[in-house]
Amino acid sequence: MSQHFLLSKKVRDFSLIKLLNWSDDDYFNFLKHIKFKGEESTVCPECGAIKPPRFLKTRKQWRCRDCDRSFSLFSGTVLANSKLTLRKIVLAMYLYSSETKGISMSQLSRDIDVSYKTAFTLLHKFKEAITQTEDLTPLKGHVQIDGGHFGGKPRSGQFRRIGRPEDIVAKIKLGKSQGAKRSRISRANLERKKRNRRIIINLRQLGPKGTGAVRTICRVAMAEDEKHVMSLIRRFVEPGTYIETDESSAYLQCSLGYKHETVQHSTEYSTIDGVNNNQAESFFSRIRRWEYGVSHRMEAKYMQDYANEFAWRENTRRYTQLEKLRCLADKVLSSGLSRWWCGYWQGIKRDDEMLWKA
């Protein structure tokens, strides 16, 4: 049996110890190489002048010879006007990219010695950069699609429900997650559940046999119905693609323009011919581990940000640690100005959630 990628020596090509031993110039040169793709010449982000600008060594900035504007590594990106040192920013990128199930804001604030508010906006700016630079070219070849319910978890009642013997026996026979009836929830909890619950629909393109999924696109919708599903498929899946789904009625029209096969999850996990939806379902396991063990809740307003983050984590799961760090740094340095997290704690917040409109 082959060794898991995360246990191999290849993935350990860069460590936190090496990063901590870097000098300030090393952090600067690392980001500079990614920002300008290894080229010596830089283009002014203000006027677009190609003439080599003057480098201000003490300030780690450049000054354009044409418009006389100064610019830095983060000018025009989500981290523009950041007061953090390059050391803390690169350390935050490393910790964010190295965690397979995400990192909490409070943990990051302790790790790099910043306030919780700073860690909160920094991590969300990483998510925004991932969203801004998302690859939205249509999926092709072999695609699996599934939807998962997130948010709106009802709170338990005041009194513990005493299980009946017959319910316990049924639960033992059918598995611990099936068979026994669930306790009732109050009307207020039920309304909160309806108000805050959303559906994350993920579309995953599979690679060669044994490699799993190679690309993931996620969108948040109010329902997993035919209208939302088909609009997503027409936008993000090439015609003629082979699609695998479960038996939900939302996927009935997938046969129009696509080769479509289903697996009956009510009776089987995979058909005799090998038709399954395992890769689409496995995406939800990672994000649920983050929800239960790291975040402990998922707000509907920012659910698309979380979905995009974990789609990126799935897409880069076979990257080495240095490749992940470079990938995240490239997204941050090539993104536009932050629209959602600049001035967040001063009251400048996103008005609406990012919902897929069918």
* 260: Cα within 13 Å, side-chain hemisphere: 19
Q: Is residue 309 part of a domain?
A: no
pLDDT of residue 180: 47
Whether residue 215 sits in one domain with residue 287: yes
CB atoms within 10 A of CB 33: 13
Single-letter residue type at 187: R
Single-letter residue type at 299: E
- The tokens for 120 are 């909160």
Looking at per-residue pLDDT, the higher value among 180 and 260 belongs to 260
pLDDT of residue 160: 62
**∠ CA(183), CA(286), CA(99), 5° rounding?**
130
Q: Is residue 303 part of a domain?
A: no
Looking at per-residue pLDDT, the higher value among 275 and 177 belongs to 275
DSSP string, 337-349: --SSSTTGGGT--
Sign of the C-alpha dihedral computed for residues 233, 247, 245 and 200 taken in this order: positive
**Mean pLDDT calculated for residue range 228-244:** 96
How far, rounded to the nearest angstrom, does the alpha carbon of residue 156 sit from its chain's CA centroid?
A: 29
Q: Is residue 307 part of a domain?
A: no
Residues in the chain: 358
pLDDT, averaged across the chain: 88
**Mean pLDDT calculated for residue range 344-354:** 88
Whether residue 270 sits in one domain with residue 215: yes
pLDDT of residue 267: 84
Whether residue 275 sits in one domain with residue 166: no
Alpha-carbon distances of 182 from 154, 155, 179, rounded to whole Å = 12, 13, 9
Domain enclosing residue 183, as ranges: 156-196
Whether residue 103 sits in one domain with residue 9: yes
Q: What is the dihedral of CA 203, 205, 211, 212, to 10 degrees?
A: 20
Contact 204, 278 (CB under 8 A): no
Whether residue 208 sits in one domain with residue 124: no
Single-letter residue type at 282: S
Whether residue 111 sits in one domain with residue 147: no
pLDDT at 288 over 70: yes
Whether residue 182 sits in one domain with residue 251: no
pLDDT at 20 over 90: yes
**pLDDT, tens only, 33-71:** 999 886 666 777 777 777 788 888 888 888 888 888 888
pLDDT at 211 over 60: yes
Least confident of 94-98, 165-169, 263-267: 165-169
User: In angstroms, what is the C-alpha Rg of the chain?
Assistant: 24
Single-letter residue type at 198: R
Whether residue 292 sits in one domain with residue 248: yes
Q: Give percent of the chain with pLDDT exceeding 70.
A: 91
Looking at per-residue pLDDT, the higher value among 165 and 234 belongs to 234
pLDDT at 243 over 90: yes
Beta bridge partners of 195: none
**pLDDT, tens only, 141-180:** 999 999 999 987 766 666 566 667 777 777 777 665 554 4
Looking at per-residue pLDDT, the higher value among 88 and 197 belongs to 88
Q: Is residue 69 part of a domain?
A: no
Q: Is residue 275 part of a domain?
A: yes
Phi and psi torsions of 218, nearest 5°: -125, 145
pLDDT at 1 over 80: no
pLDDT at 190 over 80: no
Whether residue 127 sits in one domain with residue 268: no
The contacts of residue 133 (CB under 8 Å, 6+ apart) are: 331, 334, 335
Quote the CA–CA distance of 139 and 175 in Å, as a whole number: 36
Whether residue 188 sits in one domain with residue 204: no
**Mean pLDDT calculated for residue range 82-91:** 95
pLDDT of residue 179: 47
Contact 245, 264 (CB under 8 A): no
Whether residue 78 sits in one domain with residue 24: yes
**Mean pLDDT calculated for residue range 208-222:** 92
pLDDT of residue 84: 95
For the chain, what is the domain count? 3
Single-letter residue type at 353: E
Q: What is the pTM of this model?
A: 0.88
Contact 93, 78 (CB under 8 A): no
Beta bridge partners of 201: 147, 219
**Mean pLDDT calculated for residue range 314-320:** 94
Whether residue 294 sits in one domain with residue 147: yes
